[in-house]
Amino acid sequence: MKKLFVAALFMTSFAAFSQTETAALDPMKDKDLMTWYHKDFSSSNVYGINTQNAYKYLESKGLKPKAVTVAVLDSGVEVDHPGLVKNRWKNVNEVPNNGKDDDGNGYIDDVYGWNFIGGKNADIDVDNMEVTRVVKKYQPIFEGPDSTKNKANQAKMPEDFAMYMKAKQAFTTKSIEARQNYETYSRIQKSIPVMMQMLNGKNLTPEVIEGLKPIDQEQKMGASILLQISQNPDISGKSSADVQKFLEAQMKEALDYYEPQATKQYNLDFDPRGEIVGDNYEDYSEKKYGNNHYEGPDAQHGTHVAGIIAGYPQGAEIQYGVGYKAAKIMTVRAVPNGDERDKDVANAVRYAVDNGAKILNMSFGKPVSPGKNVVWDAFKYAEDKGVLLVKAAGNENENIAENVYYPTNFKSVTDEKPFVNNMIVVGASTNDNEFLRADFSNYNQKMVTVFAPGDKIYSTVPDAKYEYLQGTSMAAPVVAGAASVLLAYMPNLKPEQIIESFVKTANKSTVNAMIASNTNNQFNLISEAGGVIDLRKAAEYAFTNFYKATSTPTKSNVKTVKKVIKKK
């Protein structure tokens, strides 16, 4: 799923409307905020990742970057965005739009990547949540009309039954919440004309609010909402026309968020897969399906992620990705508006690896995973090929040892070590040192590797635009971009060496991590690294401990070099 961090707008008796990852900020008011995540902690006291000093250090060693392909496994990317077009990966062995598989990799016209959630005539936008799919599949097996068969199946399939019960609980709770929120905000949207009548052309001031005299239930609700939004300094005192625009925009965003949940994602009767993609979803061995529609119906999430990794300054825009001198973006569309499917994730990983990606960014996740073994096989395949996997920790504000967030690099939470050594799991940090852990970020000292900036991150979005978004979805590409810098300048680095470089050099903090009922409540105790990555320090660590050590010429090499120079 494209995980969306949600922040309350309306409180009191109304269910809290949650914005998507967009933070309500005006980028032109504070250009310094656009690039805060690049800052040097030692000089600014802001937990940025020290991007520019890393480049300066590596170049001071005489190193030259060699472009690294980073695959963005996501909702799609606007590949012709002016901030991305300079750093997009291109399959040079494929002739564009000739309807042929020129390079023989099984995918026709895959010039900039591939889309595993599309078919001949359409692309999937909204899909189910995984808990919905699990309940639909297993409910007849475990809770059908024949109780004897139910018990036999439960005994015969204990792991599937446990997954079903977990999914059923989540499905029941979330589907009710989705319907209630959808109904609430539909009602508020319909009441906007009533609120405008109550304002009667006046500005939204305390005196006007105090003078409201609601006479029925609808007006009482309208007065309550007006009172709440009047506390917002961005709208307080504004004209009734501005208030109307504000409310209409907020309600549209709320309904755009909750309507798909209520009508599709948690709907047992909704399944777009067969009609659109046309594959046999239960056949995990099937790989050749999809199309080359890189953007898809909604590429906001993936385009933002791509910009964090490799965005390039253009025009008046100063935004740049961490790996803007290092990375080329390969687009692999596998994440709908809903939960990603395990078959697509596994195929996306293999496609990216087979087509030359050295780093894979995975800003998605879910609580249950019926095909986890297929995904784990793909992770092992990536490990064998020397490819780094960068994974978002998730936005549920949970300990992921207690609430597993798939796909994971631990086959069991009781395992001491991950089963692959090429995955780095990333939590989200902020630019507020007192509240350094973003309050939505998942955490765990063993299962989260590092933290990286993931709050108020400014980057590319479709239609050649830029926005602030937040989530561990934003923190992961910060690390993917940072890894691309190390690998571009030191191509022989192995994934485990890159991970070690980030873990050993993170900027630590003992500030309160703001986690309820957690005895180990310090920030340095909620990830393996105990801090926020510092690319400059990681570059020096990698150069000193890995690159320099393996690149020192032997005596025989020195003689050969001297002979070549003498001949010239």
The amino acid at residue 188 is: I
Predicted pLDDT at 551: 59
CB 379 within 8 A of CB 407: yes
> What does 103-137 look like in DSSP terms, one character per residue?
T-SS-TT-SSEEESSB-SS-B--B---HHHHHHHH
The residue behind tokens 């099937």 is 286
Predicted pLDDT at 319: 95
* pLDDT averaged per 10 residues, the chain (length 568): 38 32 51 92 97 98 97 98 98 96 97 97 96 98 98 98 98 97 94 95 93 92 92 92 94 94 97 94 96 97 98 94 98 97 98 98 98 98 98 96 96 96 98 97 97 97 96 98 98 98 98 82 96 98 88 43 37
CB 413 within 8 A of CB 379: no
- Number of DSSP helices (H) and strands (E) in the chain, helices first: 19, 11
Strand, helix or coil for residue 396: coil
Predicted pLDDT at 21: 45
**Closest to 540 in 3D by CA, of 68, 60, 114:** 60
Count other C-beta atoms under 10 Å from residue 125's C-beta.
17
∠ CA 457-462-468 to the nearest 5 degrees?
15
What are the tens digits of pLDDT across the range 139-186?
999 999 999 999 999 999 999 999 999 999 999 999 999 999 999 999
Count other C-beta atoms under 10 Å from residue 88's C-beta.
20
Predicted pLDDT at 234: 87
d(CA 120, CA 132): 26
Predicted pLDDT at 543: 98
Peptide bond into 260 cis (omega under 30): no
